[in-house]
Structure 1
Amino acid sequence: MSIKVEGLTYSYGHQNVLDSVEIQLQRKSFTGIIGPNGCGKSTLLKCIYRVLKPQIGTIWLEDKLLNSYSVKESSKYISVMAQHNSYQFDFKVKDIVMMGRAPHKRLLERDTLKDYQIVEKALESVNMLEFSEREFATLSGGEQQRVLLARALAQDARTLILDEPTNHLDITYQLQLMRILKKQDITIFAAMHDLNIAAMYCDYLYIMKAGRVIAQGETQKILTPERIFEVYQVESQIVQDRNGKLHILFTGDQLK
């Protein structure tokens, strides 16, 4: 077990966004969380990576309470790639990725040979090494996403949390990014917007609706037309390609 969430509840004012959520991530699994907009996916992730503080419930990290770690300490175990909107960093690509080494450094400590080697390896893993001297702001959206992933990988954490990592990317960059993620030998927990991307790459899924986890299990077993209709109110058909990957065909013309 790398991360375990027990009875997590969070409210914005009088609105309950998370209601007694239970999550457990197994080491080196690729786990996705899906559900309609506003169901609580991003709020759950923010509680885990400590942007928000849960009002009720506990989060365990490596068999210790998450709040028993300092933020810097927990950052050695959890790296984050949040939703991509518009980043205009006035830094070179290699400097952006080097930021991922911050949790491993003391105040004003200089970058070491090991840091440079880790940064180079991270850029190479996302096929961006040749862009290391480029200004980040000059890159395309897909290239920027890969650099931000490299920064998260350079953090050298055991768990990577992603909030809709393929948001705003065209299909080429979506598949490219997901293939890179799938090759990583770490625990991955990702909020997914695209059900087909989740079906293709996630080993295990949690499904949320109205702040609650309503189902969980292996992707091929849990992702059914009946479940999709229950959550999204759309009709669908699920097929397998020649490689055994699931694909969802949306067949209904109107919501029911």
Structure 2
Amino acid sequence: MKLDLDAISVSIAGRPILDQVSLTVHTGRFIALVGPNGSGKSTLLRTVYRARRPDAGTVRLDGRDLWSMSAAEAARHTGVLMQEQHSGFEFTVAETVALGRTPHLGMFDRFTRSDRAAVDDAMTRTGLIPFRNRRVGELSGGERQRVLLARALAQQPRLLVLDEPTNHLDIRHQLDILELVRELDITVLAALHSLDLAAAYADSVALLDAGHLVEHGPPEEVLTPTAIRKVFDVDATVHHDEGTARFALRPRCVCPDQPCRWSCRTRRHTPLTEAADAR
């Protein structure tokens, strides 16, 4: 499914959050949204999964205006995994994943063979079959995140929207989630904090800053030391390892001497003579 965001603008309480952001996510591509806190990543995602109507601009799925669809139709197309989702911990894994079929069911419809197959497939993909009868509240954070991903997959979406899906997860579970997503072969739009993960898993990166789209393209072209310094206000060294970028980040050097004579551990340095006088 192709996603087109055309000149999206959003203001909240009179404060501009997004300013005419335009972005295209082609079918089957994984696009990562990166940027500092407050750059508009989550707000942009909310316009895609219909949590917030944009003040201006259009969201299109395969050329159709998303906001002209019914909520149920939009949900059939779009699966969502947010950074903090609270599901009924008293439900079993299978019951929770089955909730993903809700957009496909009428008020009085009962589960069919195809519904059960979709749930089983989602649990198989996410490695949850051995947990199917466990209560969600008994699982670890990483396991619960897999349950919520499986619930989204049970919708059989053509577009998957992820808002910081690796938040609060340890390194192994971060990689597990993104490996699963990368193998789905569907269109993915994900907000990620980690530049390393964005570079490793995304086909392209959209860099946001203060509600503006700064750059969009392959990770190695977008996530440059210059761009990182400008947007995140940190210094970066980029290492390329077998085609994947790795980032060494440090506080931005503001020393008068270039190159810096000290190890830049703070934003500002006290000259040695002043430090001696202070003692």
Mark yes or no: TM-score above 0.5: yes
Q: Which residue of structure 2 aligns with residue 249 of structure 1?
A: 248
Does the 8 Å CA contact 1:233/1:255 hold for their aligned counterparts?
no
Deviations 1:29-66 (A, max 9, x none): 01000000011100110011111111111111111111
In the alignment, residue 199 of structure 2 is paired with which amino acid? A
Structure 2: gaps of 5 or more residues:
252-264, 269-279
Q: Which residue number in structure 2 is paired with residue 173 of structure 1?
A: 173
Structure 2 residue identity aligned to 1:6: D
1:223 Cα deviation after fit: 1.2
Map 1:1-256 → 2, pairs under 5 A: 2-84=2-84, 86-241=86-241, 243-252=242-251, 253-255=265-267
> How far apart, in 1, do the equivalents of 2:68 and 2:164 lie?
28
Superposed displacement of residue 244, structure 1: 2.1
Query: 2-side partners of 1:23 and 1:244: how far apart?
Result: 25
Classify the secondary structure of the residue corresponding to 2:119: helix
- Secondary structure (helix, strand or coil) at the match of 2:228 reads helix
Q: Distance in 1 between matches of 2:135 and 2:196?
A: 33
**Residues 38 and 210, structure 1, Cα contact 8 Å, conserved in 2:** yes
Shift of 1:84: 2.4
Q: Which runs of 4+ in 1 moved over 6 A?
A: none
Sequence identity, in percent?
A: 37
2:254 corresponds to: none
> Is the 1:34–1:206 contact (alpha carbons within 8 Å) kept by the matching residues of 2?
yes
Task: Name the CA shift for 1:108/1:192 in 2 (closer, same or farther; >3 Å).
Answer: same
Separation in structure 1 between the aligned mates of residue 29 and residue 60 of structure 2, nearest angstrom: 17
Quote the Cα distance in structure 2 between the aligned partners of 1:158 and 1:145.
20
Give the CA RMSD over aligned residues: 1.3
Once the 2 structures are TM-superposed, how far is the Cα of residue 144 of structure 1 from its aligned partner? Answer: 0.2
1:84-143 per-residue CA deviation (whole Å, 9 max, x = no partner) reads 255453211001111111111111211111111111111111111110000011110000
Considering Cα pairs closer than 8 Å and 6+ residues apart, tell me whether 1 or 2 has the greater RCO: 1
Q: Paired residues, what number?
A: 255
Structure 1 residue runs of 5 or longer lacking an equivalent are none
- Alpha-carbon distance, 1:254 to partner: 3.5
Question: In 2, distance between residues paired with 1:94 and 1:213?
Answer: 40
By how many angstroms is 1:250 displaced? 1.3
What is the one-letter code of the residue matched to 2:244? K
SS in 2 for 1:39: coil
Letter in 1 for 2:246: H
Cα displacement string for residues 69-94 of structure 1 (whole angstroms, at most 9, x for unaligned residues) = 10101111111111125545321100
Q: What SS class does the counterpart of residue 10 from structure 2 fall into?
A: strand
Amino acid at match of 2:248: L
Q: In structure 2, do the counterparts of structure 1 residues 97 and 87 end up closer, same or farther at CA, with 3 Å as the change threshold?
A: closer
- Classify the secondary structure of the residue corresponding to 1:76: helix
What's the offset of the Cα at 1:255? Answer: 4.2
- Residues 87 and 96, structure 2, Cα contact 8 Å, conserved in 1: no
Whole-angstrom CA distance in 2 between matches of 1:141 and 1:152: 17
**Structure 1 residues 150-197: Cα deviation after superposition (integer angstroms, max 9, x where no partner):** 011111011000000000000010011111111011000000111111
